[in-house]
Each structure stands twice: as structure tokens, then as C-alpha cells.
Structure 1
Amino acid sequence: MPTVACPQCNSTNRVPQERLPDNPNCGRCGAPLFQGRPVTLTAANFDRHANAGLPLLVDFWADWCGPCKMMAPQFEAATRSLEPRVRLGKLDTEAEQQIAGRYGIRGIPTMILFKGGKEIARQSGVMSAAQIAQWARSHV
């Protein structure tokens, strides 16, 4: 039974695999576990989401990065096609330099796919929503 971190309160929820498509809510705060947009990741919630039972696809980005701004709507669109099989999140490398450093982020945008807290795939550069979804599906 996969665990899903709540995008609102970050509590961990056990959700049977067959119930994931049923728009489950958090058992603690009642918020929807899947909201059709990436979760904002910070030092406070990153590990909780990365170590949850669902794969986590993270877009490492920065506000000053033109290519990151071009990819942002594509990444959000990919969220709608990948949830609930994959959780998507965005991490601002300027605000969260320690986490970006932990994963050796040298260029942005960079996407890293985590499963069980471990990096299983990495891709740098701008991609379309379809390319992001296809790339993620090929690794989970």
C-alpha cells in the first residue's frame, strides 16, 4: 500500500493502490492528496515527499532562469497526466541551496525522479509536457 505525503500538511497517508485514482483526501487535514499541480518543495517537506511510497519527480528551477520559466507550464501540464502514479514537485534552487547542493544541481532546469528516497533518473533541459510524461513513465 503506497504512502502519499499530503501537499498541505505533509502528513503521510496510506492509500490502497486501487484507490489512488479516486481523488483521496488527507486523513489529517482533509485536503485532496492530488491537486493537479506540482507541490512546492522546501527543506521542511522535501524528504517527506521523496521518501513517500509514490515516485517523486522534482523540477529544480530558479526564478531568474528563462528556460525554467518556459518549462514551468509544461511541467504543470505533465502533473495532470502523471498523477496519481507519480507526485510532481518544484524546488527553487535559490531558496533551497542546501538541497540543490545535496543532489549536485549544476544546471537548471534539471528534473530528478526519486523512488523510495533514492534518485533513479535525471534529465536536464527544457521538455514539453508530453516529453516529461513519457520520460517519467519510462523510469517508473
Structure 2
Amino acid sequence: MSSSPMRSFHGVPAEERLHWRSFLVKLGTDNLKGAKNEELFVASHKSVYIVYTMLGDVCVYVVGKDEYDELALAEVIFVITSSVKDVCGKTPTERLFLDKYGKICVCLDEIVWKGMLENTEKDRIRRLIRLKPPTEV
């Protein structure tokens, strides 16, 4: 599977990041091959929930615990995939995703800030990223 995973590790100690990255890549490799675009998958590992999907050529994983259970994460992943498609203008190829990476990161910062869910309203996210100076995109 030659897809680009989106990576952000809020609150995960540096020594655990490699473990999590390896685990998520294996999870995706085992389950996402042949998956329909934006079909959601759910797993749990070390007392956390994982919701993941394929968006074009890109694997998207959302991990949470406590109040961020699989239902909350499904809402978050929907907002993320919708925002990525908006930024790219369509379902992204790996190349298109990398070309738009800066603006995608700005969107992600509006959705999740320091590990906490901030915004789930697509229109509000669109307005907020327009307020960012072009040098930050």
C-alpha cells in the first residue's frame, strides 16, 4: 500500500510515536486494501479508540480515548475528510495531498488544537482558514 498517512501525535511521548506509527501502518495495510473511499473502520489498542479510512490515496487515522470514543472520532474524521476534499477540490491523490499539505495542516489546526476538538462545522473552518495570513499556509 503506497499511501501517505496524515501524522500528528498530540500528547504521545516521543518514545511511543514509532510504536504508534508502526501499529497504524500495519492496521491500514491489513484492513484498507480494497476498501471503498471513505469507508470507516474502527479498532482499539492500549485503551484508545481508532477510527480510520482511505481518502483517495491517503490513509487518515484518528485516535482518542475517554470522551473521544468511536462515535466522536467518526464525527471528527468526517470533518477532516470533508475539509481535505475542499482544500484539494476533489478526493486527493497522494501528489495533490502533498501539494496542498500546508493548507490542509491549517485546516487540521482549526479542527483539532493541541489534542482537543475545536471545530466540526465545515463552513466555520473554511472562514477561519481564510483569516490566516498567506505566509502561514
Answer yes or no: same fold by TM over 0.5.
no
**Structure with higher helix content:** 2
When normalised by structure 1's length, the TM-score is 0.29
Structure with more of its chain in strand, by fraction: 1
Higher RCO, 1 vs 2 (CA within 8 Å, ≥6 residues apart) = 1
